Amino acid sequence: MSFVANDYKPEQPPPRKESGALGWARANLFNSWFNTALTLLALYFLIETVPPLIRWLFIDAVWGLVGPDVCREADGACWSFIRLKYRQILFGTYPFDQQWRPLIAMILIVSVALLSCIRRFWQPWMVGVWIATLFIYITLLGGGVFGLRPVRTELWGGLPLTLMLAFVGIAVAFPISVLLALGRRSDMPIIKAICVGYIELIRGVPLITLLFMASFMLPLFMPSGVSIDAVLRAQVAIIVFVSSYLAEVIRGGLQALPKGQYEAAHTLGLSYWQMQRKIILPQALTISIPPIVNTYLGLFKDTSLVAIISLTDLLLATRQSFADPEWRRFFVEAYIFVALIYWVFCYYMSKYSQYLERVLNTGHKR
Amino acid sequence: MSKQVSTEIDPKIAEAARHAPKPGMDNIIEMNGVNKWFGQFHVLRDINLKVKQGERIVVCGPSGSGKSTLIRCINRLEEHQAGQIVVDGIELTNDVKKVETIRREVGMVFQHFNLFPHLTVLQNCTLGPIWVQKRPQREAEETARKYLERVRIPEQANKYPGQLSGGQQQRVAIARSLCMNPRVMLFDEPTSALDPEMIKEVLDVMVGLASTGMTMLVVTHEMGFARTVADRVIFMDEGQIVEENTPEPFFSNPQHERTKLFLSQIL
């Protein structure tokens, strides 16, 4: 039997899927008796929980600026508590009449962060912008110059403190961790040993331990009269901690690259640093975006651990806001409010990382 | 193996290659008593090889015979442990500067192309000239476009490697090497990872390159290519050079038993 095709078959569109809401529901929710049961069960739970939640959150909630007695009468959430205490939650123990300063500082740092997300601004001078921003940030909070009243760092608190610990942590830990990851893969035995030692030592202890050591043990070793600022010590502890985790994440990306990339770079005569900068790191870091962002989200929320060395971060400031016995029972509202703040930042970071993955992925078709 | 033999070289290009400049008198590569081991495995055994300026050499042999390792030693992707390798008057040692100098003179094309997937075709080609040779970007791009034209894919300059076919990627890899103006080109099984239909487009480019008088060392099983352009064919087995001759007698009248066996299996 022989066969010869006498013509090519024309290209045809794929078969149309079952369209419409009903078709979709049948295909996805009711395609077997088990799935139908699950769907109905889920519906039941939603009907049971969502309407009461909405009623509590919005309809029965107290929105006006009223006292705790009015709230106690109501069935819903007491948002008047947030309206009364939001400045304490956001700024913690920072002097009340000076809170415009951290407010401006936060607007500044968030704006610069948003600008840095735009691809057009990925330029070397952006590093200078960040250093300047940080300088202004600390000056605004600390004062003591330009007629700003000095505010001791022990009084810094709330969201500005959390943002500073997180942003500076992210920015400073990143280059350190890249160097650690490269060092761990280095051929030079001493450099390799130092990097391995650092990473394994720091990864092996909880952040709380590091914070404790930084704030209580370090001063014991310091010569008398020399004291390092508490916020700075916490910041350093966070950077040290995160960079060890990040280093391993980046090393994972480095190892994912095929050997051929190194060989091709060598063959062109690129030096070690040129090769890392132009060929290896751009690819390794792109591969590592999801776990890097994972680490950053962890860092952002771990900043709340500085409460343990009595820094009033966002979470501790929140706890202090309902310390007042009259308002004690409205802690749920406070936590919802502060959770929303954390969530907005984390969700944005997560979304941005997905965008980054998309625009940086050239390995496949675009 | 029969598919490789059936790959015909474009007669016009082949004719040009036959009129290529004759090899010069100076040795551009000298290997004296080179030995190398992978662990306990003696992969290169007392290799002595001299390559003249403009000479085109095809290295063939069974897999594991050390032919890839041999040419990878020339730009120090592999380190030899004994003997001497001199490239363009510079001896290869652990001196990083010397190694980088030699790598600038020696281009290499790999079996798996090894293009940089995060850079466009044009950026792949200009990276070396801009960063290693410190040439201005405009000039580097002009050179790159010239070579992309030469390998017949000027229209792909702004695409990413992942968007090209295997044959196109390998031609970009050749253009990328040429952009560095190398004095020697090494090819490590450049067509082994390609579909039969794409082998020809790469071979045509290589034959075209041979007709410009480039010094070439090619590890390949493309015997059509060897017959057309090689000045010398080297046959390797078990880490040593077993037979070496000009193509005509090498193919029609091999001397060593191993060579006869090898040729009888692939021709």
Using one digit for the tens of pLDDT, what is the confidence trace for A118-144? 888 888 898 899 999 999 988 888 888
Model ipTM value: 0.90
pTM for this entry: 0.84
Q: Which residue has the higher pLDDT, A65 or A112?
A: A112
**Residue of chain A nearest B108, judged by CA positions:** A267
Q: In DSSP terms, which residues pair with A107 in a beta bridge?
A: none
Given a cut of 90, is residue B149 above it in pLDDT? Answer: yes
Q: How many domains does chain A have?
A: 1
B185 contacts on A by Cβ (under 8 Å): none
Residues paired with residue B59 on neighbouring β-strands, in sequence order: B219, B234
Q: State the CB neighbour count (10 A cutoff) for residue A331.
A: 15
Parent domain of A196 = 80-219+227-360
Tokens 């969530």 found at: A343
Say how far apart CA A361 and CA B161 lie, in whole Å.
Answer: 12
In chain B, what residues touch A265 (CB-CB under 8 Å)?
116
Under a CB-based contact definition with an 8 Å cutoff, are residues B74 and B235 in contact?
no
A35 occurs within a structural domain: no
Spatial distance between the Cα atoms of A71 and A358, rounded to a whole number of angstroms:
48
| A362 Cβ under 8 Å from any chain B Cβ | yes
Identify whether the C-beta of residue B164 lies closer than 8 Å to the C-beta of residue B157.
no
Rounded distance, CA A361 to CA A287, Å? 9
Residue A131 is assigned to a structural domain of this protein:
yes
Q: Is the pLDDT of residue A365 over 50?
A: no
Domain membership flag for residue A7: no
Option in A260, A286, A360 nearest B114 (CB): A260
Question: Rounded to a whole number, what is the distance in Å from the CA of A272 to chain B's nearest CA?
Answer: 10
CB contact under 8 A, A274 and B163: no
């009129």: which residue's tokens? B19
Evaluate whether residue A68 is within a structural domain: no
Residues B128, A366: C-beta atoms closer than 8 Å: no
Report residue A319's pLDDT band, with 50, 70 and 90 as the boundaries: confident
- B151-207 pLDDT, tens digit per residue, is 999 999 999 999 999 999 999 999 999 999 999 999 999 999 998 888 999 999 999
Question: Which of B106, B160, B176 is opposite residue A362, by nearest beta carbon?
Answer: B160
Indicate the pLDDT class of residue B3, thresholds 50, 70 and 90: very low
Report the CATH number at residue A315.
1.10.3720.10
Q: Provide the H-helix boundaries in A185-229.
A: 189-203, 207-212, 218-221
* pLDDT of res. A363: 63
Helices then strands, counting H and E runs in chain A, come out as 17, 2
Distance, in Å, from the CA atom of B244 to the CA atom of B57, rounded to the nearest integer, reads: 10
Residues 6+ apart with CB under 8 A from A12: none
Q: Is A283 in the B-facing interface, judged by CB distances under 8 Å?
A: yes
**Per-residue exposure over B71-80, b if at least 16 CB sit within 10 Å of its own CB, e if not:** bbbbbbbbeb
A268/B112 touch (CB, cutoff 8 Å), yes or no: no
Q: Mutation test of the interface with chain A: which of B98, B106, B114, choosing the one with the most A Cβ atoms within 10 A?
A: B114
A359 has a chain B CB within 8 A of its CB = no
In a domain, A6, yes or no: no
Residue type, position A235, single letter: Q
Q: Which residue has the higher pLDDT, A4 or B23?
A: A4
Both structure tokens of B223: 């015997």
A242 in Cβ contact with A295 (< 8 Å): yes
Residue A311 within a domain? yes
Angle formed at CA B45 by CA B39 and CA B51, multiple of 5 degrees: 125
CB contact under 8 A, A267 and B132: no
Please tell me the predicted confidence (pLDDT) of residue B1: 40
B→A contacts (Cβ < 8 Å), by residue, are 75, 77, 100-101, 103-104, 106-108, 110, 112, 114-119, 127-128, 131-132, 160, 162-163, 176-177, 180
DSSP secondary structure string, B222-266?
A: -HHHHHHH-SEEEEEETTEEEEEE-HHHHHHS--SHHHHHHHHHH
Asked if the Cβ–Cβ distance from B116 to A279 is below 8 Å, we say: yes
pLDDT band for B2, please (50, 70, 90 cuts). very low
User: Is pLDDT of A364 > 70?
Assistant: no
Query: Is A117 within the bounds of a domain?
Result: yes
Query: Burial level of A150, CB count in 10 A (0-12/13-18/19+)?
Result: exposed
- Tell me which DSSP letter residue A96 carries: G
Quickly tell me which residue has 């280059």 as its tokens: A175
Q: Do B100 and A269 touch (CB under 8 A)?
A: yes
CB contact under 8 A, B132 and A274: yes
- Residue type at position B37: W
Residue A299 lies in a domain: yes
A257 at interface of B, judged by CB pairs closer than 8 A? no
Backbone angles phi, psi at B220, to 5 degrees: -160, 160
Q: Is residue B105 a contact partner of residue B184, using CB atoms and an 8 Å limit?
A: yes
Alpha carbon separation from B13 to B16, B99, B189, B208 (Å, rounded): 5, 34, 21, 6
pLDDT digits 0-9 by tens, B218-247: 999 889 899 988 999 999 999 999 999 999
Asked if the C-beta of A264 comes within 8 angstroms of chain B's C-beta atoms, the answer is yes
